[in-house]
Amino acid sequence: MTRKTEKALFLIVLVALLIPLGHSLAQTAAPLKTDVPKEKLVAELERAIPDLMKKASIPGL
């Protein structure tokens, strides 16, 4: 095998091994809050969203 072929084979194997790792690191979804009153959820969002927008430097407030 040539050196170029060895490098290509190594990269293919490396990518094949890293693909499942990316799936396992993905964020899991938070459970739905179906038993919480809507007013409480709205209040939490009204408090959280401006802070998140400020942290991410998103204009609009």
Each domain of the chain, given as residue ranges in start order, spans: 3-25+32-55
Two structure tokens written together for 56: 């991410």
Residues 22-60: b if buried by 16+ CB within 10 A, e if exposed? eeeeeeeeeeeeeeeeeeeeeeeeeeeeeeeeeeeeeee
Q: Which helix (H) or strand (E) holds 45?
A: helix 38-55
Per-residue pLDDT, averaged over 5-23, amounts to 78
The pLDDT of residue 45 is: 92
Q: Which helix (H) or strand (E) holds 5?
A: helix 3-24
Please give the Cα distance from 16 to 19 (Å, whole number).
6
Q: What is the pLDDT of residues 18-57, one digit of tens each?
A: 776 555 556 677 888 788 899 998 999 999 999 999 999 8
